Amino acid sequence: MTSSVLPVSEPAATDAPLLRVIDVVKHFSAGVGATVKAVDGVSFDIRPGETVGLVGESGCGKSTLGRLITRLLPVTSGQILFDGVDLTALRGEHLRQQRKQLQIIFQDPFASLDPRMTIGDIIGEPLVNFGLAGRHEKDRRVQELLRVVGLNPYFNNRYPHEFSGGQRQRIGIARALALRPKLIVCDEPVSALDVSIQAQIVNLLEDLQAEFHLTYLFIAHDLSVVRHISDRVLVMYLGKLVEIAPSDVLYQSQQHPYTRALLSAIPVPDPRVESQRRLIHLSGEIPSPLHPPSGCRFHPRCPIAEAPGICSQVEPPMEQKAPGRFAACHFSDRVVTEVG
Amino acid sequence: MVGGQILFHGRDLLKLSREEMRRVRGRDIAMIFQDPLSALNPVLRIGYQVDEAMHAHDKVPRNQVAARSVHLLDTVRVPDASRRVRDYPHQFSGGMRQRAMIAMGLANRPELLIADEPTTALDVTVQAQILELLREMNRETGTSIILITHNLGVVAGLCSRVIVMYAGEIVEEGPIEQIFENPQHPYTWALLRSIPRIDFARHDRLRSIEGLPPDLIALPRGCKFHPRCPFRVERCLTDEPSLQTVKGGQRAACWVTMKRAYEEMGAADIIDTRPGAASGVHPPGFTLPPFGAADGGGPTGPSEVAAP
């Protein structure tokens, strides 16, 4: 695959992409002869300083993709270029050194912190691992990181159970920041938090991005939050990207029927808007990734599919439909007028 | 229960014996839960579990129970219901399990359905289907619904009235149009501004509610929300407000209310949402929480700041 067909927000963007995901595939074996195609040929770019949102329903492969990018899982095939270096080809010490640049924040702030380590050791461990700080220096950096994420710097001797969910997520963020990474994969970072706390963490992530020139891949199922924080949004369905669009135009016009249906299902906290909102019904359930449908994977549920026909026979390629807008649909020009 | 009354058709449910209450529960008042997987018995077939709800009350004639189970599952749009009554819960998807649980809840045609976060564990497209189902039920059978949720979008779409709780107490209640457009309690106001909206073209920074929900073992004095409230006044620190009518059908428990916050405290322009920010009232010994990245000029990395 050549770089010219890779979805970038502006074709003329001068910044070289920080992350380039090229035709990445991840298959899991599920018993004899069965394969779960969790991620099945995904390509996209992230430019430095950008926040890219990744949305999709349970089981679509979005978390798997986040884990492939951070090399927590090995890819089945494809390339992940980070700053021009192919992470999938790296092993051992070379991989370890690259990982400094690439951190992850997890969904569950309870499971992702070791209950028997102090906050100082949790946040400072990456520094020690990479030999970046001696004991005294570590304490100072940990206190600084705690201050940066809005926690009391003198909490470094406490344990995770003494903190609330939102505070723990701040600790997870401080740990991710410790090595001054360029890219942070945020995997559902606010989904487990109380509504009143979600805004605190979203605002903190925005502040940190401005301060430390961070690039985010923000994975979540809550499209409202994703759209708020992201410059561009990737929509994933059954192991594949179906649409890539700038977040400020996504709600107005869609190039893929699934995106449109997904957006129509989101309740808006305004009774007047809600009384007008029309739900686009999708028939059936998400098919099993063990046996994805032929042609376009969305065709059995798609309101405008030509099936049997092109949609059930030919898999639509991801194509640029308008400047900065990409979709994998044979009939993307009919989406806004004919779906819903 | 320490005190109070729960009147259902004028009858105090708290005074009923265990056996009398058993006859009400599941028959007149049914409940559906957040997590359908742990609320269903994994070793019993779905059909059996729906049947059981009816056998427990004998409101439906015994010989019609099995047929009604199929009908109920069909109503809640479980595909191929006559065959799938023989499935076990693990053979159902999350959305279908939730629908099966709603079928159980509806089995005896209850007058009141308590739905506790019925869609929180579900994807948005499935959530939309479940909400539509509840809406239909409410319209067609007249079943009253208490929907317990943290999702204000879901409230706006399904409910006619809303009760907002904070730290174990009702802080505001009223018709949804009034509560969403003209909230009078600062907590309701802040909550509505803290969530991003999918339909807004451009987003401002979210207005976060600073601080944490209170520890229920050591509740603050006065108004329970005052430690997080930007509009608090001296009185909020010591006296607890009670629910007062602010406008037809809308009640709020607040000494200040948003009307005054807008008129006297510049609520429309408030950017700093930290406790006491608008009124300047801080309790003795109070220091503003650290504001992280907001202070300190220019881009600085952690190690650079750490250097003396």
> Which structural domain, as residue segments, surrounds residue B44?
10-159
- Same domain (yes/no): B151, B190: no
Tokens 């006065």 appear where?
A: B222
Looking at residue A1, its pLDDT comes to: 40
Answer yes or no: is B168 within a domain.
Answer: no
Q: So what's the pLDDT on residue B293?
A: 33
Examine the pLDDT at B305 and tell me if it is beyond 70: no
**A215 in Cβ contact with A19 (< 8 Å):** yes
Query: Higher model confidence: residue B294 or residue B99?
Result: B99
Whether B157 sits inside 8 A of A267 (CB atoms) is: yes
Residue B221 lies in a domain: yes
Confidence of residue A66 (pLDDT cuts 50, 70, 90): very high
Q: Are residues B233 and B139 in the same domain?
A: no
Poorest-confidence range of A66-80, A272-286, B62-76? Answer: A272-286
Chain B 209-238, residues with CB within 8 Å of chain A CB atoms: 209-210, 212-213
pLDDT in tens, B139-189: 988 999 999 999 999 999 999 999 999 999 999 999 999 999 999 999 999
Domain shared by B189 and B54, yes or no? no
Last residue of a domain, one of B92, B127, B159: B159
Instruction: Evaluate whether residue B199 is within a structural domain.
Output: yes
pLDDT of residue B290: 45
Please name the residue ranges forming H helices in B108-202: 124-141, 152-158, 176-181, 186-193
Q: In total, how many domains does chain B have?
A: 2
Q: Which residue of A has its CA nearest to B274?
A: A200
- The answer to whether A265 contacts chain B (CB < 8 Å) is yes
Report cis status (omega within 30 of 0) of the bond before A308: yes
CB contact under 8 A, A57 and B207: no
Subunit contact B93:A285, Cβ cutoff 8 A:
yes
Q: Is the pLDDT of residue B304 over 60?
A: no
**Which string of DSSP letters, residue by residue, matches A50-73?**
-EEEEE--TTSSHHHHHHHHTTSS
Residue B171 lies in a domain: no
As given in the structure block, the two tokens for residue A255 are 């190039």
Residues B110 and B193 in one domain: no
Contact B292 A227 (CB under 8 A): no
How many angstroms from the chain centroid is the CA of residue A129?
A: 26
The SS3 call for residue A100 is coil
Q: Per residue in A87-138, pLDDT tens? A: 999 989 999 999 999 999 998 888 899 999 999 999 999 999 998 888 888 9
Residue B238, domain member (yes or no): yes
What tokens appear for B126 in the block?
């499935």
Per-residue pLDDT, A307:
85
**Same-domain check for residues B128 and B187:** no
Using pLDDT thresholds of 50, 70 and 90, give the confidence band for residue A69: very high
List of residues 6+ apart from B165 with CB closer than 8 A: B171
Note whether A194 contacts B: Cβ–Cβ < 8 A: yes
pLDDT digits (tens, 9 = 90+) for A145-172: 999 998 888 888 999 999 988 899 999 9
Tell me: do B125 and B210 sit in the same domain: no
Judged by CB atoms closer than 8 Å, whether chains meet at A164 and B212 is answered as: yes
- Report chain B's mean pLDDT, rounded to a whole number: 86
Alpha carbon of B44: minimum distance to chain A alpha carbons (Å)? 23
Nearest to B305 among A144, A199, A273 (CB): A144
Q: Kindly tell me if the per-residue pLDDT of A5 is higher than 50.
A: no
What span, in angstroms and rounded, lies between the C-alpha atoms of A212 and A210? 6
Query: Chain A residue closest to B192 (CA)?
Result: A269
Q: List the CATH number of the domain containing B63.
A: 3.40.50.300
pLDDT over 80 at A6, yes or no: no
pLDDT of residue B277: 82
Q: Enumerate the residues of chain A whose CB falls inside 8 A of the CB of residue B192.
A: 269
In angstroms, the separation between the Cα of residue B117 and the nearest Cα of chain A is 13
User: At residue A331, does pLDDT exceed 80?
Assistant: yes
A–B interface: beta-carbon pairs under 8 A:
166
Percent of chain A with pLDDT over 70: 96
- Inside any domain, residue B155: yes
Q: Assess whether B154 and B24 both reside in one domain.
A: yes
- B166 within domain boundaries: no
Q: Minimal Cα–Cα distance from B216 to chain A, Å?
A: 13
Give yes or no: residues B143 and B204 share one domain: no
Burial class (CB in 10 A: 0-12, 13-18, 19+), A28: middle
Asked if B217 and B259 sit in the same domain, the reply is: yes
Whether the predicted pLDDT of B306 surpasses 90 = no
- What is the spatial distance between Cα B70 and Cα B61, in angstroms, rounded to a whole number? 15
Measured between beta carbons, the chain B residues lying within 8 angstroms of A273 are 156, 199
Arithmetic mean of pLDDT, B222-237: 93
Q: pLDDT tens digits for A164-202?
A: 888 999 999 999 999 999 999 999 999 888 888 899 999
Which residue, of B110, B127, B159, is where some domain finishes?
A: B159
One domain, residues B202 and B280: yes
DSSP A146-215: HHHTTS-GGGTTS-GGGS-HHHHHHHHHHHHHTT--SEEEEESSSTTS-HHHHHHHHHHHHHHHHHHT-E
Minimal Cβ distance to B306: which of A144, A270, A271: A144
Whether residue B203 lies within 8 A of chain A, CB to CB, comes out as yes
| pLDDT per position as a tens digit, B236-293 | 999 999 999 998 899 999 999 999 999 999 888 887 778 888 887 765 555 554 443 3
Q: What percent of chain B has pLDDT over 90?
A: 56
B156 vs A208, A212, A270: nearest CB: A270
Both tokens assigned to A114: 């070791």
Neighbours of A223 (CB within 10 A): 25
Which pLDDT value is given to residue B2? 84
The verdict on B20 and B94 lying in the same domain is: yes
Give the model confidence (pLDDT) of B80-102 as tens digits.
899 999 999 998 888 889 889 98
Q: Is B289 in the same domain as B188?
A: yes
Among B126, B159, B192, give the residue marking a domain's end: B159
Catalogue the long-range contacts made by B291-297 (C-beta closer than 8 Å, 24 or more residues apart): B291/A150, B292/A147, B292/A148, B292/A149, B292/A150, B292/A204, B292/A207, B293/A148, B293/A150, B293/A204, B293/A207, B293/A208, B293/A210, B293/A211, B294/A207
Instruction: Please report which confidence band the pLDDT of residue B298 belongs to, taking 50, 70 and 90 as the band edges.
Output: very low
pLDDT of residue A10: 47
Average pLDDT taken over every residue of chain A: 90
Q: What ipTM was assigned to the predicted interfaces of this complex?
A: 0.83
Q: Contacts of residue A238 in chain B, CB cutoff 8 Å?
A: none
B200 falls within a domain: yes
pLDDT at A3: 40
pLDDT higher at A335 or B1: A335
CB-CB contact of A203 with A171 (8 Å): no
